Amino acid sequence: MYRVTVVYIFLAAAVRAESSQLQDVCEDEQEGSSLLQAASGASLKREVCPPPGFDSVENFSVSDYISAPWYMQMQAEVSYQPRENLFCVRANYTETTPGIFPQAKLELIVDNYAREGSISGPESSAFPLRASIVNLTEPSKLLVGPPFLPVGLRGPYWVVATSEQPYEWAIVSGGPPTRQGADGCVTPGLGLNPNGNGEGLWLLTREPVAPNSTVDMMVEKAQALGFDIGVLLPVQQEGCCGERYGTPC
């Protein structure tokens, strides 16, 4: 009887010890799970897109902006302009009378130029677009699209940073960057907007071939605005020339 009692006491103690160890393990797992959830939540909350206070530039001069051609130095790939077409990319703007859509208070003809595959490749097939300003108190917010497309269906084109006047460089976004990227905010991007609405990031200069220091400064500025600069691709301008391009050969 004594032996049975001793064995029973021993077994009961072992069961209690094992139960205590299992409870400790469960508590550790719960604590680890809570820490992972907290870290995951912190990661998700790390970026708010668009960044607080994000907006287009104030006191924007349309007449200055359209006074001379713009040359892309870096830009994001967009659905209507793949990376193989990022050669000799140039944009020119001319004021015109608003068309049949009354929402436009001011309208611009957008003449885009680029080459495919190389600086000597064929000109990219494109037709003039229209850029509409619907609120004259916010002229740095434009809507861009084909002339036949109603203004409300055109894509946002926001000028989000410029040099002092006269403008020598500018940063343009396809509206506010509403999606979190790998390292900052991005516009919705490829696949989500097959018509090009709400996508794009461009670094423009008046000089066809800008100094590296200018391009680096614009990249830093874009990053400071909250953009994921990892989406930017270089545009080759060295060696580009021609009447439509804007510089003689």
Tokens for 6, please give them.
């001793």
- Domain ranges across the chain: 1-46, 62-234
| Bridge-based pairing state of the strands 129-133 and 106-115 | antiparallel
What percent of the chain lies above the pLDDT cut of 90?
Answer: 66
Q: Rounded to whole angstroms, how far apart are CA atoms 244 and 249?
A: 11
Phi-psi region of 37 (alpha: psi -120 to 50; beta: other; left: phi over 0): alpha
Average pLDDT, the chain: 83
Contacts of 123 (CB under 8 A, 6+ apart): 113, 114, 115, 116, 244
Q: Which of 197, 186, 182 is nearest to 222 (CA)?
A: 186
pLDDT of residue 101: 85
| Bridge-based pairing state of the strands 169-173 and 155-162 | antiparallel
Q: Rounded to whole angstroms, how far apart are CA atoms 137 and 113?
A: 30
What CATH number matches the domain at 62-234, 2.40.128.20, 2.60.40.10, 3.55.30.10, 2.60.40.1120?
Answer: 2.40.128.20
Query: Each residue of 43-76: pLDDT tens digit?
Result: 444 469 999 999 999 999 999 999 999 999 999 9
Query: Each residue of 162-204: pLDDT tens digit?
Result: 999 999 999 999 999 999 999 999 987 655 555 555 789 999 9
Q: Which of 70-84, 98-112, 191-205, 226-240 has the lowest mean pLDDT?
A: 191-205
pLDDT of residue 95: 97
- DSSP codes joined into one string, 46-75: S--SSPTT--PPSS--HHHHTSS-EEEEEE
pLDDT of residue 167: 98
User: What's the predicted TM-score (pTM) here?
Assistant: 0.80
Q: Rounded to whole angstroms, how far apart are CA atoms 31 and 246?
A: 64
